[in-house]
Structure 1
Amino acid sequence: MFDTDIYELKMEGAFEHFTDELSKIRTGRAHPGMLDGIKVMAYGVEVPLNQVANVTAPEAQLLQITPFDPANLQHIATAIRNDQGLGLNPSDDGRVVRVPVPALTEERRKLLVKQAGEKSEEARIGLRTIRQDGIKDARQKKDAKELSEDDLKRVEKEFDRLMSVYQQKIDEACKTKEKEILTI
């Protein structure tokens, strides 16, 4: 019999990646996860921001970054400023970096909703690729006479079921994110 559990784990991984990507899209409120994708040049190597500093959100419209080593302060501010996708302008006082999070304009909100839609489409493409790989493997086993025609049909039905489950999860996560973005 053909085991679809491996492919289900891959689909779960693709969904988790999608939710991580969604969490990086900012809403109107400041949250430390907004800066998860930032890489800082520290000690001659690019490292994730959370490995060189502590990121907190003391207010709804402010992020505060406290570096573990004050020598990295300028590098942190530069890395945040250089990430155009965030549109943030950090300032530092010699000890901490403060990043004011401006309120989103209607145009920016629509752009972020569009970005969330693009991420959901990327996740769907990933799921379809996993499904195609699984069905291809099942067909190879059928050609090698390890699976019967009925078993192949059952495998295809199982993949269709998995696809609908994960596509529904993606739709729900995307709708939730859209609601967060559009809430003023």
Structure 2
Amino acid sequence: MATQRNVPTGRWHDEEEAGREAEASSFKALTREEAQALRAKEPPLSPWRVVGLQAVVGVVAALLALLLTGQQVVAWSLLMGAATVVVPGALMARGMTSRFTSMSPGTSAVSFMLWEFVKIAVSVGMLMLAPKLVQPLSWPALLVGLVLCIKVYWVALLWRGRRVSR
């Protein structure tokens, strides 16, 4: 006994089909030369460059905090906040740039999710250990370091966009 599928008819179905057809007709596979030209025009942003920039921002912010407040506890707390971003980010960058992650799209997606979980777990663990590692801990300074280093992603993306458009 053959089963019939209910195929929607009407205006919604027609618009959906038209949208798919337009997408399919507008897609054009790049040739090898076109792909190389696109890569040359818009080079990928290295995760190591972002992690390095985060580390630099964290150290500079800690030094500025020490100069402005004169309190080492503020500088150490700010540095701990920066480390809470930099260390997990470095772990993820290491994991995502390994040969195993580029084996197939499926492996890459699973690897990304795994390393993102590791990154979150290490960040939470470091935040939980912060009061034991830095005594006395200044939570506002830690949060400032954390936020500054997280925002480096946006600066790196803006910097990349500006550099590419030249």
TM-score of the alignment, normalized to the shorter chain, above 0.5: no
* Short-chain TM bin: 0.3 to 0.5
| Larger relative contact order, structure 1 or 2 (CA cutoff 8 Å, min sep 6) | 2
Tell me which structure has the larger Cα radius of gyration: 2
- The structure with the largest helix share of the pair is 2
> What is the TM-score of this pair, normalised by structure 1?
0.31
